[in-house]
Structure 1
Amino acid sequence: MKTLHTVLATSLAVLLGGCMVGPDYHRPQVSVPTQYKEMPGWTAATPEAGEAPKGEWWTTFNDPLLNQLEPMVSVSNQTVQQAYANYQQAQAEVQVARASLFPTLGVTGSATKQRTGSSSSQRAISTSGSLEGNVSWAPDLWGKVRRSVEESKATAQASQATLANATLSEQVSLADALIELRVSDADIDLLQKTVDAYTEYLRVVENQGAAGTTPPSDVLTARTQLESAKSSLIALGIARAQYVHAIAVLVGKNPEELDIPHSTSLPTLPTMPVGVPSTLLQRRPDIAVAERQMAAQNAAVGVAVAAYYPSFTLSAADGFSQTPLAGLLHVANHVWSLGADASETVFDFGARHGQVAAAKAAYEAAVANYRGTVLTSLQNVEDDLSNLRILAQQADVQNAVVSNATQGAQIALNEYQAGTVDYTTAATAQATQLSAQQSALSITQQRLLDTVSLIGDMGGGWSADELNASQKSTAER
C-alpha cells in the first residue's frame, strides 16, 4: 500500500504539470491617444486640487448630505447587492472548477445478514461485510480543467469588476439625484423671491388702479403674472418629491422613509484634474469587465480544443471484505484493486470542430467588445470635457445676461411708476429677468452633473489592481 500511495502521489505531481492546449492569453493592443482632444482648452487643475479623486470622490462637492448618503450605496443599494451576489456565485464556480484537478475520495461500507438452507434442520444464518476506500481521478493531461479554472477565474474577476461598475453607477445616480434636488430647491427659492416681488408689483398697480392713474388691464396683467409664478412654484414640488423618492431607493430605503429638508445652498463645483487617456484602461471598471470577459473567452477556446484529445481516468480501491463479519479488519481480509479507463471520440461529424470555431468566434466578439468599450470611454470623457469647457464660457455670458436683465427690470418698473411706459413693458422686463436667472441656474446644474459624469467616466477612483489576483492568474496555472 505504501508503494501504491507513492505511485499515486508521484503521478499526481507529474500530471498536474502537464501541457495545456489552446492559446495562452495576451491582452490585445488598443489605440489610445496620448492626450484628450479637449485638453488644450481645458482649465488646468490648481495645485491644491491634487490628483484625480480616489475613493470617496463625492466629498469634492462639499455637500454634507451627499457625504452621508453615498457610503450607504455600497451597503444597501439593491442593484449593488445583486451584483455582489453574482460575484459570490462566480467565486464559488472557481472553487468548483478547481476541484476537478484533484482526485475524488470516497468510503463505502456494507453489512449483510442472510439465512440459507431449505429445511429447518439445514437453515443457517450468516453475516458478511466490507469496508472500502476508493479513489478516482481524471488527470488533466491536456489542460482542459486548468483552462476551465482559468476561464472561471477570469469570469469571477469580470463579475468583481461588474460589482465595482454597478456601485460606481449607482453612486453617480445618487449624486445626480441630489444635485437635481438641490437645484430644485434653488429654483424654489428663486421663484419664491419672484412671487414676493410680483406681489409687491401687484400692490403698486392696484393702488394706481384705485387712484385711476392706470387702466384695469394693467391690474389684470400684474395679477396674471403673479398667479403664473405661484403656479410654477407649486409645480416644482412634484419634481422635488420625485428626487427625494429616487434618493431613498438608491440608498436602499422605502420612498416614505426618507425626508430631506429644503436646502438653500448648491454643492460646490470642484476643479477636476484630468489624466492621460491610457489611465482609463486601469481606472474604468466597465473596461475591466470587457477585458476579463475577453480572457475568459480565450480560455474557453482551450477547453474546446482539449475535446480533441483522449481522456483518462485512474481508479484505486483499498479495504476489507469478510464472511462472516467477525474479524473484518483482520489483515487476512485485506483487498485492493487498481484500474484505468481511456476514452476517445473517433468521429463526431464535426461537432468538436464546430465547438472550437464557436469558441474562437466568441473570443473575437469579446475582443471587439473590449475595443469598443475603450472607444466609448474615450468618447465619454471627451464629451464631458467639451461640455464643461463650453458651459464655463456660457456661464460667464449668462451671468452678464442676468445682470443686464435685473437692471433692465428695475428701470422698466421705475419708468412705469413714472408713467413713461405701460405695465406690459415692465412685465416683459420682469419675465425676462426671471428667465435669465433660471437659465443661469440650469447652466450651473448642468456643470455639476457633467462634473459627476466626468468623475464616473474616469472610473471614480477605482483601479483594476483591486481585482483579486489579477496579476497572478498566469503564475497559478
Structure 2
Amino acid sequence: MKSFSNLRSILDLRLGHTLAMVALLSGCSLAPTYSKPDVGLAPAAFKEDISTREMAPGEIGQWKIAAPSEDMRRGEWWKVFADSTLNEYEQIALDANQNLKAAAARLKQSRGIQQAADAAFFPDVDGGVGAKRQQFSGASQFDSDDKNGPAQTLWRAQLGASYEPDLFGRVSDTAEAAKAETQQSEAIFRSVQLAVQADVAQNYFMLRQLDSESAVMADTVSLREQQVTFLQRRFDEGDISELDVVRARSLLAIARSDEMSVQRRRATYEHKLAVLLDKAPSTFAMSPKPLEEVAIRIPGGLPSSLLERRPDIAAAERQMAAANARIGVARAAYFPSLSLTGAAGFESASLSNLFQWSTRTFLLGPLNGTALSIPIFDGGKRDGNLANARAVYEEDSAKYKQQVLVAFREVEDRLADLRIIEQQTQTQNAAISASSRAAELSREQYDNGMVAYLDVIDSDRTLLQTRLSGVKLSGARAASTVNLIRALGGGWDEIPETAGMKKL
C-alpha cells in the first residue's frame, strides 16, 4: 500500500507539472508583434488645399466653408447642401439599397465566423443516449472457434467533453485573425455605405443639372420659334429673302433635337437613381427643378487624418492585421498540440436500471489516438504554409500603402477640380454676360438692316454655348464637392482645425 501511495504521489506531482506547463504555454502567441504601420507617405498638407485668406476678394462673398448643423450626426454629410429632397433620398437609400443590404449580410457572415473562432476557447460538451447489440466471437474471447459468445444489448447515457488548450497561441491567433477580418468587413460596409450615399448625391445633382440644361434649351426653342414667326412675317412682306427663314427653321429644328437629347439623358439618370433607392424605374419620377448653386467649400483637413477617416484604408489595414495573426497560426503548427477529452455517464445491459449508481462509468483521455500530438515529418507542408502566410502579409502591406497613395491622389484631384472651378466660375459668368449683350446688339442691328442674319445666328449660338457651359460648370462643382467628401471618407467631426479654416 505504501508503494502504491508513493506512485500516486509521483503521478499527482507530474500531473501538476503538466497542467502548470499547459497553463504557462496557453495563449503564448507566435505571431509577429503587430502595430499599425507607419506609412511614411503622409505630407504635411494637401498641395491643392487653399484657405479662405487665399481667396480672391470677389470669391469670399460667393463661397463659404461647409459647416454642418448642430443636429447633424456623423456621416450625414449631404445635409450641408440644405436640400430636403436630397435628404429624403439619402435616407431611403440607407434603408432600402440592395447593395448596402448585401454588404450588411457579409458583415453578419464575418461576425458569425468570429463567434465560431472564439468558441475554441471553451470546451465542447455533448451528450447522448443510445443502445447497441453485439455478440463476440469465441476466438475473441480465447475460446474455441466454433463457439460464439452470448448476444447482449448494452444501453448507454453519457456526457462527453473535449478541450484543446491554447498551446503556442494557435487558438488565440486564429481568433485574432477572425476578429480583424470582422473589423475589415465593418470597414467595407462603411465604404459601401459611403459609395451609395455619394452615388445618390451625384445622380441627384446630375438630374438637377439636366433640368437646368433643359430650361436653357426650352428658352432657346422659344426664342427660335419667335424668330421664325418674325422672319416669316418679314418674308411675307417682302423685306427679306427666303434664305433667312429657312436658316431660322433649321436652327429651330436643331434646338428641339438638342432639347430631346437632354430629356433622354435625364430619363437615364432618373432610372439610375430609382435603382439606388430600391425602386422600379417605372414607379419613380423626380419633379424637374433647375440646379441651385452649390457655393460651399470643403476643406481637405490634414492628410494624416485621412488615414483614420477613409473606410477603405481601414479595411486594408485590418486585412493586414489578420494576415499577421495567420503567421502565428502557421508557426504554431511546428509545436505540439494537446487535446483533453473525457466522458462520464451510465452503462447497463438493461434499460430499467440504466441510471442507477452502480451503472456509472467514465473515460479520461482520448478514446482513440493520443492526447499530445508532436509533429515530426510532413514533407515540408508546414514550411509552405508559413511561407504563404508571410507572403500574404507582404502583399497586404503593399496593398495598404498603395491604398493610402490612391487616397491622397483622389483628394488632391478633387481639391484641384474645385480650385479651378472656382476660377472658371467668374470667367464663365463674365462670358455669359458678354455673350448676352452681343446677342442683343446683333438682333438690334439686324432689325435696323446693319448686319446679316448670319451675325444674329452666330451671336445666339455663342450665347447658348456659354449658358450651357455655365450650367455644366455648376453641375461639375456640385459633383466635385460630392467626390471630395467621398475622397475624405465622408466624416465631418474628425477633420482637425487648420489655420484660417473652420472645423467641419
TM-score, normalised on structure 2?
0.84
Distance of aligned partners of 1:246 and 1:316 in 2 relative to their CA distance in 1, 3 Å threshold: same
CA apart distance, 1:154: 0.6
Structure 1 counterpart of 2:193:
167
**Residue of structure 1 aligned with 2:451, choices 414, 421, 433:** 421
Distance of aligned partners of 1:14 and 1:353 in 2 relative to their CA distance in 1, 3 Å threshold: same
1:334 has 2:334 as partner: no
Structure 1 counterpart of 2:106:
86
1:410 has 2:440 as partner: yes
Contact residue 96 and residue 278 of structure 2 kept, 8 A: yes
1:433 has 2:463 as partner: yes
Once residues 402 and 66 of structure 2 are traced to their aligned partners in structure 1, the CA distance between those partners, rounded to angstroms, is 35
Contact residue 61 and residue 269 of structure 1 kept, 8 A: no
1:63 has 2:83 as partner: yes
**Residue of structure 1 aligned with 2:214, choices 157, 164, 188:** 188
Contact residue 41 and residue 389 of structure 1 kept, 8 A: no
**Residue of structure 1 aligned with 2:426, choices 357, 378, 396:** 396
State the AA in 1 paired with 2:249.
Answer: R
Once residues 392 and 280 of structure 2 are traced to their aligned partners in structure 1, the CA distance between those partners, rounded to angstroms, is 42
Contact residue 202 and residue 482 of structure 2 kept, 8 A: yes
More deviation, 90-99/100-109: 100-109
More deviation, 424-433/342-351: 342-351
**Residue of structure 1 aligned with 2:121, choices 97, 101, 116:** 101
CA apart distance, 1:361: 0.9
Unaligned runs of 5+ in 1: 117-123, 465-477
Contact residue 68 and residue 80 of structure 2 kept, 8 A: no
Q: Secondary structure of 1:436's partner?
A: helix
Distance of aligned partners of 1:126 and 1:292 in 2 relative to their CA distance in 1, 3 Å threshold: closer
**Residue of structure 2 aligned with 1:49, choices 44, 60, 67:** 67
Instruction: Deviation per CA, 1:188-242: give whole Å up to 9, x if none.
Output: 1111111111211222211221122211111111111111111111121111111
Instruction: Deviation per CA, 1:41-87: give whole Å up to 9, x if none.
Output: 77688577369984211111122211111012222111111111110
Instruction: Deviation per CA, 1:232-285: give whole Å up to 9, x if none.
Output: 111211111111110110011111111111113436332323311111111110
Structure 2 counterpart of 1:37:
47
Alignment of 1:220-369 (within 5 A): 220-266=246-292, 268-339=294-365, 341-369=371-399
Q: Secondary structure of 1:100's partner?
A: helix
State the AA in 1 paired with 2:87.
Answer: N
Unaligned runs of 5+ in 2: 1-11, 56-62, 137-149, 495-504
Contact residue 381 and residue 457 of structure 1 kept, 8 A: yes
Q: Secondary structure of 2:125's partner?
A: strand
State the AA in 2 paired with 1:282.
Answer: E
State the AA in 2 paired with 1:175.
Answer: A
Contact residue 58 and residue 67 of structure 1 kept, 8 A: yes
Q: Secondary structure of 1:39's partner?
A: coil
**Residue of structure 2 aligned with 1:385, choices 415, 422, 425:** 415
Contact residue 38 and residue 386 of structure 1 kept, 8 A: yes
Once residues 34 and 301 of structure 1 are traced to their aligned partners in structure 2, the CA distance between those partners, rounded to angstroms, is 34
State the AA in 2 paired with 1:95.
Answer: Q
More deviation, 209-218/89-98: 209-218
Instruction: Deviation per CA, 1:73-127: give whole Å up to 9, x if none.
Output: 22211111111111000000001111122211111322357999xxxxxxx9976
State the AA in 2 paired with 1:451.
Answer: T
Distance of aligned partners of 1:267 and 1:136 in 2 relative to their CA distance in 1, 3 Å threshold: farther
CA apart distance, 1:401: 0.6
Instruction: Deviation per CA, 1:173-197: give whole Å up to 9, x if none.
Output: 1111111100101111111111111
Distance of aligned partners of 1:125 and 1:289 in 2 relative to their CA distance in 1, 3 Å threshold: closer
Once residues 381 and 342 of structure 1 are traced to their aligned partners in structure 2, the CA distance between those partners, rounded to angstroms, is 56
Contact residue 27 and residue 172 of structure 2 kept, 8 A: no
Once residues 145 and 183 of structure 1 are traced to their aligned partners in structure 2, the CA distance between those partners, rounded to angstroms, is 57
Q: Secondary structure of 1:38's partner?
A: coil
Contact residue 155 and residue 350 of structure 2 kept, 8 A: yes
